[in-house]
Amino acid sequence: MPIKYVRFNYFEPQLVPADQLLRAELMEDNEDVDNLRDIPHYRWDMAPMLDYLMTNHEFTTDFALGDEYAEIEPRSYRYDERGDTYDFQLSKLRESNIPSKKRFHTIKEDILLDQDEFIGEFVSILYDNHLGAVALQSNLYGLSVKQTEIFLTNVRADFLAAIGEEEGDTPMHVKLAPLVDTLQLERAAQADYYKKIRIKGSDVMGTALLTGDNLLSEASEMLDRVNGVNFDITLSLGRVERTASLDNDAVRQVVEMFEELPVRAKPKIEITAMQNEEAQTETINLLEPRMTDRISVNVAPRTTIAHEHLTDEFREQAFNHRRNDIMRVLRPVQG
């Protein structure tokens, strides 16, 4: 039976003032600053809303997201009392770029949709009520993180209206803040095999990088020689055996130098590596090493993975073992 790999990324669900979030995002698009971390944020307890949705089936959650739509898949809510976790599934509905049906040696056949029919793409969400953390399935065709934030903001607003609770003078926006685990820097430095390294930076980092004899200093010197402003360098292997690797010492030297650089001088570095020959290949962003897990699921041909099966496999293969890391990473916030 074919194996499908599914990735889940970890977040802390937060509430942030909508006006300040918009202002910070506009500034971040135009300036080299990190304004998002300066916004007041409050940990969002999702349990009251999920409890309400689980028992009030007439409550609708369909919202337009640009040219697409989204809703919580009906009756997908589950609560696990033993682990104090909720899980549910989000549907993305689209009516464009519709695929066709095809048989060998015959002309393709259009899939005709009724006015109330769409193509559905799905992502699963697990919410740990005890830890206050969310695990969100990554699906190229499903809702993005940004779309999920907008959708949850709308659902929360309707939920508050349904229970007669006022938002207050300042509307709040749902923000999924990635869980960043700096211990992944150690994993990057201790890997046995390095498959690829990508370094992105700018001239403002130049003086800090011009020390020693390594990949970072060479990139900075090259930028200076050609009067460049930005550099984007990727070093990778071609088609080679599984245990082939870039020079271990050179890559580890980059990791060590990266840790010693001041914050504003740190370039964006992504390292694709294997911890050992039995492990899966993983990519670690040194600037923001986000917490993530990948699981494997058996999928029969011509079938889709049921939400219940996927989240059960995720709990068993990854989440139950990850909870100590989540407790270590999550820091108290306002509220």
- pLDDT tens for 182-209 read 888 888 899 999 999 998 877 666 555 6
For residue 24, what pLDDT is reported?
67
Rounded average pLDDT over 236-256: 88
Do 168 and 259 sit in the same domain of this protein? no
68 domain-assigned: yes
12 domain-assigned: yes
Of 21, 45, 63, 86, the C-alpha closest to 311 is 86
Of 270, 267, 256, the C-alpha closest to 202 is 267
325 domain-assigned: no
Tell me the three state secondary structure of residue 178. strand
Do 38 and 160 sit in the same domain of this protein? yes
State which amino acid sits at residue 141: Y
Do 48 and 168 sit in the same domain of this protein? yes
Share of the chain above pLDDT 70, in %: 90
Rounded average pLDDT over 34-57: 84
Do 138 and 244 sit in the same domain of this protein? no
CA–CA gap between residue 65 and residue 148 (Å, rounded)? 10
Task: Give pLDDT tens digits for 91-102.
Answer: 999 998 888 999
Q: Is 50 exceeded by the pLDDT of residue 175?
A: yes
218 domain-assigned: yes
Range of the domain at 62: 8-178
Do 235 and 279 sit in the same domain of this protein? yes
Under 8 Å between Cβ of 218 and 257: no
306 domain-assigned: no
Residue after which a domain boundary falls, among 146, 178, 210: 178
CA–CA gap between residue 190 and residue 260 (Å, rounded)? 17
134 domain-assigned: yes
Q: What is the pTM (predicted TM-score) of this model?
A: 0.82
21 domain-assigned: yes
Do 144 and 26 sit in the same domain of this protein? yes
298 domain-assigned: no
Do 155 and 189 sit in the same domain of this protein? no
Of the pLDDT bands very low, low, confident and very high (cuts 50, 70, 90), residue 74 is very high
CA–CA gap between residue 248 and residue 35 (Å, rounded)? 36
CA–CA gap between residue 80 and residue 312 (Å, rounded)? 11
Per the structure, the count of domains in the chain is 2
CA–CA gap between residue 127 and residue 87 (Å, rounded)? 6
Classify residue 102 as exposed, middle or buried by CB count within 10 Å of its CB (0-12, 13-18, 19+).
Answer: exposed
CA–CA gap between residue 263 and residue 115 (Å, rounded)? 53
CA–CA gap between residue 146 and residue 333 (Å, rounded)? 22
Q: Per DSSP, which regions of the chain are E strands? A: 3-17, 42-43, 63-65, 68-72, 78-80, 85-94, 100-101, 109-110, 119-128, 133-138, 172-178, 193-202, 230-236, 268-274, 282-285, 292-298
- CA 245 to chain CA centroid, nearest Å: 27
CA–CA gap between residue 43 and residue 333 (Å, rounded)? 7
Of the pLDDT bands very low, low, confident and very high (cuts 50, 70, 90), residue 25 is low
Structure-block tokens of residue 203: 């001239």
Rounded average pLDDT over 109-136: 94
Do 122 and 138 sit in the same domain of this protein? yes
Q: Name 30's Cβ contacts closer than 8 Å, sequence gap at least 6.
A: none
Do 187 and 171 sit in the same domain of this protein? no
Do 172 and 205 sit in the same domain of this protein? no
Do 39 and 123 sit in the same domain of this protein? yes
Do 170 and 197 sit in the same domain of this protein? no
